[in-house]
Amino acid sequence: MRIGIDVGGTHTDIVLLEGDDVLIAHKSLTTADVTTGVKNVLAHVRDNGVEMHEVDAVMIGTTQFTNAVIERRELSTVAAIRLGLPSGRGMPPKLGWPSEISAALGSTDFMLHGGYLYDGKKLSDIDDAEIDKVIADLKSKDIQSVAITSAFSPMNSDPENYVAQRISAEVPNIALTLSHRIGRVGLLERENAALLNAALLSFADRVVNAFAEAVAEFGLSCPVFISQNDGTLMESQFVREFPALTFSSGPTNSLRGAARLTGFDEAIVVDIGGTTSDIGVLRGGFPRESNMVVEVGGVRTNFRMPDVQAIGLGGGSLVEDDGKSIGPKSVGHNLVRDGLVFGGNMLTATDIVVAAGLAEVGDKSKVTELPQSTIENGLSTIRQILEDGIRMMKPNSDPLPVILVGGGAILAPKEMAHVSEIHAPTNSGVANAIGAAIALIGGEAERFIDYSNTPRQDALSEVKSAAESVAVSAGADPGKLRTIDIEETAIPYMDEGATRVRVKVVGDVAKLASGREVN
Amino acid sequence: MQLTIDMLADLSAGAAFLATGGGGDPHLTYLSACEGLKAYGPATMIAPQDLDDDALVVALGAVGAPTTSLELLPSIDESIEVLSAYKKLTGRKVDAVVSFEIGGGNSLIPIVAAAANNIPVIDGDGMGRALPEATMMTYAIAGIQPTPAVALDYAGNTQLIEAETTEAYEQIIREFSMQRGGMALSAEFQMTGRQMKECIVPNTVSLSIELGKILRSRQGTADQLAEQIASVFEPSIYGEFRQLFTGIVSDMSTSVVGGYDVGRATIAPLIEGTPSLIIDIKNEYLTAKLDGRLLASVPDLICILDSETAEPINAERLRYGQRVSVFAVGCPDHYRSEQALKVVSPRSFGFDFDYTPIEDIPAN
């Protein structure tokens, strides 16, 4: 048995899974301290007679860190240290960031000499006097977190490591994020990723402590995993160092949960919430990934993330102009207070479908006065918005099944253009938690290979099998491995053809019931 | 016409389209140009015919392997420094600057130098797209000498270059760039207003701004925007515009060989069982073949956009799993002469076939 928990902005959901069977599914409100919400859902499972010591693993998906960046809260001030001068003069860290988030991280930025060139030569020598000044400044400013980025650190991380050692030696309690551990080639995007990660470290400690406390209180002694944005799991301790790797694990889990609930591997998933609908695409049971440069809270990063489009339609969307205009303004989670059917005085998308007799929510008698024209226009506007959104995301002109998840699924019509069939699976409200519970074990391998000696296809197979054995030894089912990323970086200072090859594979957790392969 | 900061995003997006996969990451040059105009104010842009016949114009830009610029960041003053070094080392005066390549970041580089020196930048360039070598510029094809030229590295080191031929100049500047981190700035191909008017590909900066506006409108997917994009090219010096393919990148490999990114991308179709599109790349996207049949080749333009966002994707950003739309655009007449095809035909890139203008290739 395994437990999947999804800690969202509004709801904390839990599922208990035995193999593919959902034994328990439950929703509760997220609490300000997070811990209480997690304890509430765990209590629900225990109170249903589950022997907690029989649980083999707990998988937690959380949007806490993404939301913190988007809402600019819980962010620590961070000193940015970049080693790359004399290149990039006049191009300081956080260039192009939205002003509120760059203000949240503060303006302690250092541009130092150091780093490497593409050919393995030094870009410039590290200047210890510059580092002395940085250290003095860090001490005087009481900064808790530092992000260090040097030019070409994915190929040679010595400058980052050196500066990290010097800072640790003299400012022992400072948290460090080294860019080569979190991002790839592309200095600005990697630096941005490292900065966001550094800003989240103290919040990560609180979140992981909260999870650990909740889990321990219920006598769960099994491993606790947290899901990452690529749909694989990391040990919860790892999150203390790399919270940014959880970005967008929410949509990934929602999409994977929807695939598992319906058995569809190729489908459009529409997650309708209170304010927006998130539309994603399943290909082979996995989310279609977005382009390399992905913005998180308006900041460019180079994480790999699912391609999810948010459109401004949700259960709380405001209806205007006799139903001809709906959203993007919304009463959001205040729907249960402000919507007409809940006794409020705002006309929302939910009121339209209730008035049309398509859903039973709240008090239908509150919407009997609504003009027929408003209802008809409203239904047609809702349908138009959803159809447009789906058409934008569809991979081709063939009709695809649509899977509806989320609390606002009642808004969707029974039929839509470009759609072969519409499914609103049971338990769709807890798709995220199911996605977390079925998340995968990843395996990664990296080799330096000379293509002039080893043909490329052979080289790729070699690295792929190495990645597969890593995944299998971490507990993945060898029969169900899938390559999710192949990265090749030329190493020009070696002989021509020398290439750094990185392959990432994922697989389902094998024989989960025994509980022993998971660690 | 004043070029202001708010126009740079459109220019940069349009230039990324015309980069045909090369030209480096336009985002970095874009950020750097924004910081530059913030510091020095807007630049004045004039049409080629508005420059005096006797005025002296010099071409500015960056030379190198695009992959390196992802890590070796540009500095905001580098175009100003290379122009100052040019004036100092050659003793020549400069009345206006021009881009040598509209495709990618090189479209933006002369603008900051123009703003800081209070001289105009010309609306046009020496390629109408992106191409890897100086010999391929319309300036060189028209017989303009590239030297004296000045090269500047990331650390501010300069070198005055005198060369007998454009080929020799190309080797020297390329060598300088590879030795100095993979990217260098250059001031080269000085010409009179009269000479410039005869060989420049005109109005490409303003066309890029117009094109970029459409790409950035977020009014639809790349395929949905095709008609609007066509309406920019069809009445222009480019003419033909075609939608070639929509699919998913299924294989991609690049490496730096002799200063160039070389490689091949395979784009799998959305409908299984139909053939994949093969794109050959040498810095830029050079040929597009489907089932062995040529759909387009250099010097015509092959452009790859992210299908959802309509954002142009450079060769170094093209990755496994991306969903892309592929387009082709006819090249300006500058590249269709016998003289020009000696340096920009498929054969001059090592392919074993001649150039067939896109309008002579049957559409699907």
Residue pLDDT, tens place only, B32-86: 999 999 999 999 999 999 999 999 999 999 998 777 778 999 999 999 999 999 9
**How wide is the angle at C-alpha A388 spanned by C-alphas A384 and A393, nearest 5°?**
150
Task: State pLDDT tens for residues A4-36.
Answer: 999 887 788 999 998 878 999 998 888 888 889
Residue A213 lies in a domain: no
For residue B276, pLDDT over 80 is answered with yes
Cβ-based contacts of A307 with chain B (< 8 Å): 308
The number of angstroms, rounded, from the C-alpha of B125 to the middle of its chain's C-alpha atoms is 9
Same domain, A377 and A490: no
Taking the Cβ of residue A300 and every Cβ of chain B, the question of whether any pair is shorter than 8 Å is answered with: yes
**Which residue's entry shows tokens 């328990």?**
A24
For residue B24, pLDDT over 70 is answered with no
Looking at A200, A216, A234, the residue that finishes a domain is A200
pLDDT value of residue A493: 44
Cβ-based contacts of A160 with chain B (< 8 Å): none
Q: Report the C-alpha gap between A439 and A256 in whole angstroms.
A: 8
Taking the Cβ of residue A123 and every Cβ of chain B, the question of whether any pair is shorter than 8 Å is answered with: yes
CB contact under 8 A, A86 and B255: no
Average pLDDT score over residue span A131-146: 94
Taking the Cβ of residue A289 and every Cβ of chain B, the question of whether any pair is shorter than 8 Å is answered with: yes
Residue A299 lies in a domain: no
For residue B233, pLDDT over 80 is answered with yes
Same domain, A451 and A371: no
Least Cα separation, residue A493 to chain B (angstroms):
10
- The share of chain B scoring above pLDDT 70, in percent, equals 95
pLDDT value of residue B254: 63
Least Cα separation, residue B259 to chain A (angstroms):
9
Task: State pLDDT tens for residues A52-64.
Answer: 988 988 999 988 8
A417 with A385: CB under 8 angstroms?
no
Least Cα separation, residue B55 to chain A (angstroms):
32
Count other Cβ atoms within 10 Å, centred on residue A33.
11
pLDDT value of residue A368: 92
Taking the Cβ of residue A95 and every Cβ of chain B, the question of whether any pair is shorter than 8 Å is answered with: yes
Question: Where residue A513 falls among pLDDT bands split at 50, 70, 90?
Answer: very low
Same domain, A448 and A412: no
pLDDT value of residue A238: 81
Same domain, A364 and A464: no
Same domain, A482 and A389: no
Cβ-based contacts of A288 with chain B (< 8 Å): 321, 323
Task: State pLDDT tens for residues A334-346.
Answer: 888 999 999 999 9
Count other Cβ atoms within 10 Å, centred on residue B90.
18
Same domain, A420 and A510: no
Task: State pLDDT tens for residues A212-243.
Answer: 999 999 989 888 889 888 778 887 778 899 99
Q: Which domain holds residue A96?
A: 78-200
pLDDT value of residue A498: 67
- The share of chain B scoring above pLDDT 90, in percent, equals 75
Average pLDDT score over residue span A81-95: 96
Question: Nearest CB to B155: which of A86, A118, A292?
Answer: A86
For chains A and B, count residue pairs whose Cβ atoms are closer than 8 Å: 121
**In the predicted model, what is the mean pLDDT of chain A?**
87
pLDDT value of residue B25: 67
B335 with B328: CB under 8 angstroms?
no
- Packing angle between helix B26-40 and helix B109-117, nearest 10 degrees? 10
Same domain, A445 and A400: no
For residue A519, pLDDT over 70 is answered with no
pLDDT value of residue B10: 96
Residue A280 lies in a domain: no
Task: State pLDDT tens for residues B196-220.
Answer: 999 999 999 999 999 999 999 877 7
Cβ-based contacts of B267 with chain A (< 8 Å): none
Average pLDDT score over residue span A317-331: 90
Q: Report the C-alpha gap between B239 and B328 in whole angstroms.
A: 11
Residue A496 lies in a domain: yes
pLDDT value of residue A518: 32
Looking at A429, A449, A484, the residue that finishes a domain is A429
CB contact under 8 A, A496 and B156: no
Same domain, A403 and A468: no
Residue A261 lies in a domain: no
- State the total domains in chain A: 3
Same domain, A399 and A490: no
Tell which of B34, B71, B78, B154 to mutate to test the A interface (max A CBs under 10 Å): B71
The conformational region for residue A102 under phi > 0 = left, psi -120 to 50 = alpha, else beta, is alpha
Average pLDDT score over residue span A451-459: 86
- The share of chain A scoring above pLDDT 90, in percent, equals 47
User: Mind listing the domains of chain B with CATH numbers?
Assistant: 2-202 (3.40.1610.10), 220-360 (2.40.390.10)
Q: Report the C-alpha gap between A474 and A97 in whole angstroms.
A: 38
Looking at A174, A200, A226, the residue that finishes a domain is A200
Task: State pLDDT tens for residues B158-176.
Answer: 999 999 999 999 999 999 9
pLDDT value of residue A308: 85
- Where is average pLDDT lowest: A117-121, B238-242, B345-349? A117-121
Task: State pLDDT tens for residues A329-388.
Answer: 888 778 889 999 999 999 999 999 999 999 998 999 999 999 999 999 999 999 999 988
Q: Report the C-alpha gap between B84 and B116 in whole angstroms.
A: 11
